């Protein structure tokens, strides 16, 4: 389609988990509002769910003009085909200029399929978004070459312009409780809910109850921990700091901890306020998953470990000596409070 046929709106794909609005939905809606003001257009946030424990109109407080709600039993469990079908159908009907989605596990799964179905490109895992003052095109910034450079990408020839964005990339402004949004329930054909995948149920896997992408503190461990039992040391530290436990791919491959904890290109991308890298050497794949953290504390016995290059505090020594001492100091400080 030609640019003149586009509605100009920015469509944000929201996420609801267990009835709760994911923080990335508010974050992206607020960022979309900023971009839309530059373009003189509106923001529409799409929500797909079987239930929700909030007033969806409240998304107006962070910049949504329209909230599209697609509600039904097909969204009780995550089904990539259904999400892909619904989003693709709405994009073809609404012709937005820009589509944004969080680079969560779900967003990373369905957005490439959506891009293929609507015949456009997708810039994945962005850490920056802006509007080109001359062309009005979306400037999409993301780490490239293992995180060693930052690339800014434009997609002028295929629309809509689509990007997934790392959660916790942008600050969330204070809500403007005076704003209002229109809530719409679009009519969709039954075939968008059909799928070759049948979800029989859901089983709990260790680590699934805490999403490390949402936390302010992540304490990650690698091969230096030597065995699964030693992750209890990190769990204690993370608990004291109100955070969660992450891991390198090596630790997950050794089955010391489950995959939902994995940080890196093949795991989750995290951007906490504080990131502890304990016994992690710092491969480029791991660095790409955590280097946007505000503050990095690295603990490793190898003075040449690559992780020290991105660390704000580098502690070179035996982690089995250093971590217990950190825990002890925190407990002592808490005892004084």
Q: Is 195 annotated as a binding residue?
A: no
H-run or E-run covering 231: helix 231-240
Q: Is 128 annotated as a binding residue?
A: no
Residue among 291, 249, 293, 250 at smallest CA distance from 267 = 249
Rounded to an integer, what distance in angstroms lies between the CA atom of residue 295 and that of residue 151?
Answer: 23
Is residue 295 within 8 Å of 269, Cβ to Cβ?
Answer: no
Q: Is 283 annotated as a binding residue?
A: yes
Q: How many CB atoms lie within 10 A of CB 333?
A: 10
Structural domain containing residue 302: 212-336
pTM equals 0.81
Q: Is 262 annotated as a binding residue?
A: yes
**Which tokens belong to 294?**
């505000």
Residues 236 and 304 reside in one and the same domain:
yes
Q: Is 215 annotated as a binding residue?
A: no
The residues, ordered by sequence, that sit 6+ positions from 247 with a Cβ below 8 Å of its Cβ are 220, 221, 222, 231, 256, 257, 261, 262, 263, 267
Q: Is 168 annotated as a binding residue?
A: no
Q: Is 147 annotated as a binding residue?
A: no
Residue 264 lies in a domain: yes
- Mapped onto helix, strand or coil, the DSSP state of residue 151 is strand
Q: Is 279 annotated as a binding residue?
A: yes
Q: Which of 139, 158, 193 represents a domain boundary (last residue)?
A: 193
Q: Is 285 annotated as a binding residue?
A: yes
Residues 185 and 225 reside in one and the same domain:
no
Q: Is 106 annotated as a binding residue?
A: no
Counted domains in the chain: 2
**Which tokens belong to 183?**
């809530």
Residues 224 and 182 reside in one and the same domain:
no
Q: Tens-digit pLDDT profile for the chain (337 aa)?
A: 334 445 689 999 999 987 888 889 999 999 999 999 999 999 999 999 998 888 899 999 999 999 999 999 889 889 999 999 999 999 999 999 999 999 988 999 999 999 999 999 999 989 899 999 999 999 999 877 766 678 999 999 999 999 999 888 888 899 999 999 999 999 999 999 999 988 787 776 655 556 898 899 999 999 999 999 999 999 999 999 999 999 999 999 999 999 999 998 778 888 899 999 999 999 988 998 898 899 999 999 999 999 999 999 999 999 999 999 999 999 998 876 6
Rounded to an integer, what distance in angstroms lies between the CA atom of residue 124 and that of residue 54?
Answer: 29
């Amino acid at each position: 389609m030609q640019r003149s046929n586009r509605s100009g709106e920015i469509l944000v794909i929201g996420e609801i988990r267990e009835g709760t609005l994911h923080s990335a939905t508010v974050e992206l809606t607020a960022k979309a509002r900023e971009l839309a003001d530059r373009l003189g257009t509106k923001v529409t946030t799409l929500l797909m769910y079987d239930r929700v424990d909030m007033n969806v109109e409240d998304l107006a407080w962070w910049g949504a003009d329209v909230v599209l709600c697609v509600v039904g039993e097909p969204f009780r469990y995550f089904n990539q085909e259904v999400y892909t079908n619904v989003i693709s159908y709405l994009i073809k009907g609404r012709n937005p200029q820009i589509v944004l989605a969080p680079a969560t596990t779900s967003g990373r799964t369905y957005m490439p399929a959506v891009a293929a179905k609507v015949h456009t490109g997708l810039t994945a895992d962005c850490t920056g978004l802006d509007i080109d003052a001359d062309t009005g095109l979306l400037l999409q910034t993301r780490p490239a070459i293992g995180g060693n450079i930052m690339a800014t990408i434009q997609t002028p020839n295929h629309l809509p312009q689509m990007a997934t964005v790392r959660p916790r990339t942008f600050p969330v402004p204070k809500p403007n409780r005076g704003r209002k949004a229109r809530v719409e329930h679009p009519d969709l054909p039954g075939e968008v809910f059909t799928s070759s995948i049948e979800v029989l149920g859901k089983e709990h896997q260790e680590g699934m109850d805490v999403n490390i992408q949402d936390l302010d503190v992540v304490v990650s461990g690698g091969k230096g921990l030597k065995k699964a039992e030693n992750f209890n040391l990190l769990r204690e530290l993370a608990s004291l700091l109100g955070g969660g436990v992450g891991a390198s791919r090596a630790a997950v491959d050794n089955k010391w901890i489950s995959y939902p904890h994995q940080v890196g290109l093949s795991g989750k991308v995290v951007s906490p306020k504080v990131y502890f890298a304990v016994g992690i050497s710092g491969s480029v794949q791991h660095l790409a998953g955590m280097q946007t953290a505000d503050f990095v504390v690295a603990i490793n016995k190898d003075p040449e470990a690559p992780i020290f290059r991105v660390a704000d505090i580098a502690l070179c020594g035996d982690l089995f000596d250093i971590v217990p001492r950190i825990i002890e100091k925190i407990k002592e400080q808490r005892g004084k409070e």
